């Protein structure tokens, strides 16, 4: 990849009739951070207010001419839109701009970043599938000769490779489309194996009956740093967007002796590409099957509340909206005005201020995790015969014992037990528990 040649114009649209999470300027600032993460330099920006996208070029014809002049003036070789473009938008714009100017949208840029950061075979497969499915309807003559995309001079949006020979009457475009469809089919088969492996792994974890706590949050909120502090591990950390793609799980002990499995997951972002949600299905299932979500928020970010709302929206979209959530307001060590914490605490329920890097508030956070997990258990009161020593051990190991008494007929235990164990204790239940 020759990053020195990557110079981009950013284009953003403000819609009169559509309410957006971020203001246009804030969204473009985020797009600039994404571009920097992909080693792209910013040559300028262009904005427009409009009711709805132009069906051919997304922005109006006058703005297209303005964009063309800006590209020529800055010698930019990339134009990046802060929205997802239709294939025809990209084709029309590239034809008008000419000079081999490549038009990307927010989705294409995020896919590019994911390609840069994929460190495991699973992450690589997921990103490749998302890239191919994104690219297939966008193939034009400008996008053929696929070396341009993978391992070529630009490296934008990944690569294909292995293009076969043309059959009778086939154009290069048809060959490329056929090759991409074949690659999509092969990748889906490979990812199905990954999904099955993850399912078996999750089933093994379930059999261990150790609660799973998934770290979620906006990209670069500090999830990996928090995992490292709580688990004493060395997960890769970088001050950049999407530094972590692959889920990492570590065992952490709570103050009551109970163990939990803490899982770091890929960061969220507004306008998360649908291709990524589909390709990272196996990874996102780590979130939807957790017992508790630990939502990490960068409290120093000017759009912290909006970012938190974006994460909660995404959780709803992946069917994880009904899982209990604890929010950690991270990076309080960087706050100049302590009142900012109070504002965030008022706007975000069930939140605790912490600094993962300085180990501030982590004891209180672990206690909150412990308390929340216990609250999800079933409260029971049982008289267990002494011969049922296994059930007594399970209660002590995986439940929360509030009272215990050794009687003539067995061990009387009152407390809370995870839902998956309740059936084992049904024959020994004693009326109502004490308040």
| Predicted confidence (pLDDT) per residue in 122-139, tens digit | 778 888 888 888 888 887
pTM for the model: 0.75
The span from the CA of 92 to the CA of 68, in Å, is 12
Mean pLDDT on 232-244 = 62
Residue 242 pLDDT class (50, 70, 90 cuts): low
Return mean pLDDT, the chain.
Answer: 82
Residue among 124, 139, 50, 47 at smallest CA distance from 90: 139
Mean pLDDT on 278-304 = 83
Residue among 135, 155, 9, 5 at smallest CA distance from 79: 9
- The helix, strand and coil proportions of the chain, stated in percent and rounded to the nearest 5, come to 45, 20, 35
339-386 pLDDT, tens digit each: 767 777 777 777 899 999 999 999 999 999 999 988 888 899 999 999
The predicted pLDDT at position 148 comes to 39
The span from the CA of 104 to the CA of 31, in Å, is 12
State yes or no: pLDDT of 143 exceeds 60: no
Max Cα distance, the chain (Å):
91
The span from the CA of 306 to the CA of 321, in Å, is 17
Beta-carbon neighbour count of residue 53 at 10 Å?
17
Residue 279 pLDDT class (50, 70, 90 cuts): low
The span from the CA of 124 to the CA of 194, in Å, is 12
The span from the CA of 332 to the CA of 353, in Å, is 7
The predicted pLDDT at position 287 comes to 85
At 27, list the tokens: 């969204």
Higher pLDDT, 150 or 225: 225
Q: What is the DSSP letter of 105?
A: E
Is residue 292 a contact partner of residue 299, using CB atoms and an 8 Å limit? no
Mean pLDDT on 416-420 = 83
Residue 302 DSSP SS3: coil
At 301, list the tokens: 């970010």
State yes or no: pLDDT of 64 exceeds 90: yes
Alpha helix ranges (H) inside 75-105: 87-97
Most confident of 21-35, 71-85, 138-152, 393-407: 71-85
Which residues are 162's β-sheet partners?
none
Q: Give the DSSP per-residue string, 197-235.
A: HHHHHHHHHHHHT--EEEEEEBTTSSHHHHHHHHHT---
At 405, list the tokens: 């008494």
State yes or no: pLDDT of 17 exceeds 80: no
The predicted pLDDT at position 135 comes to 85
Element (H, E) at 8: strand 7-15
Q: Is the dihedral of CA 293, 294, 298, 302 positive or negative?
A: positive
Mean pLDDT on 307-324 = 88
Is residue 142 a contact partner of residue 96, using CB atoms and an 8 Å limit? no
């Amino acid at each position: 990849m020759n990053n020195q040649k990557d110079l981009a114009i950013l284009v953003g649209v403000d819609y009169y009739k559509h309410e957006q999470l971020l203001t246009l300027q804030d969204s473009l600032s985020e797009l600039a951070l994404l571009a920097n993460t992909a080693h792209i330099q910013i040559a300028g920006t262009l904005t427009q207010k409009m009711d709805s996208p132009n069906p051919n070029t997304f922005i109006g014809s006058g703005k297209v001419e303005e964009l063309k002049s800006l590209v020529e003036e800055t010698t930019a070789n990339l134009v990046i839109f802060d929205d997802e473009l239709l294939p025809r938008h990209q084709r029309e714009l590239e034809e008008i701009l000419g000079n081999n100017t490549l038009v990307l949208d927010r989705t294409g840029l995020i896919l590019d970043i994911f390609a840069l950061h994929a460190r495991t075979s699973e992450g690589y497969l997921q990103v490749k599938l998302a890239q191919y499915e994104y690219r297939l309807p966008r193939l034009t003559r400008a996008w053929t000769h696929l070396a341009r995309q993978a391992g070529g001079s630009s490296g934008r949006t990944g690569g294909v490779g292995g293009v076969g020979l043309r059959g009778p009457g086939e154009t290069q475009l048809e060959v490329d489309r056929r090759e991409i469809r074949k690659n999509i089919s092969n990748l889906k088969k490979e990812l199905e194996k990954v999904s099955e492996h993850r399912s078996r792994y999750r089933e093994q974890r379930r059999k261990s009956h150790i609660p799973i706590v998934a770290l979620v949050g906006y990209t670069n909120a500090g999830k990996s740093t928090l995992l490292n502090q709580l688990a004493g591990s060395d997960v890769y950390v970088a001050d950049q967007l999407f530094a972590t793609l692959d889920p990492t799980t570590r065992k952490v002990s709570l103050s009551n002796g109970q163990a939990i499995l803490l899982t770091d997951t890929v960061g969220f972002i507004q306008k998360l590409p649908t291709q990524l949600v589909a390709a990272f299905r196996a990874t996102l299932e780590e979130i939807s099957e957790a017992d508790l979500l630990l939502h990490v928020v960068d409290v120093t970010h000017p759009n912290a509340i909006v970012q938190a709302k974006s994460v909660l929206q995404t959780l709803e979209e992946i069917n994880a909206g009904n899982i209990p959530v604890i929010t950690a307001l991270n990076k309080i060590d960087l706050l100049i005005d302590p009142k900012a914490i109070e504002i965030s605490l008022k706007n975000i329920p069930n939140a605790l201020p912490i600094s993962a890097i300085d180990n501030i508030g982590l004891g209180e956070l672990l206690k909150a995790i412990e308390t929340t997990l216990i609250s999800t258990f079933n409260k029971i009161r049982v008289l267990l015969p002494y011969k049922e020593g296994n059930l007594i051990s399970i209660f002590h190991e995986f439940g929360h014992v509030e009272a215990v008494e050794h009687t003539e007929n067995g061990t009387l235990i009152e407390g809370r037990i995870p839902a998956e164990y309740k059936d084992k204790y049904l024959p020994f239940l004693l009326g109502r528990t004490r308040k």
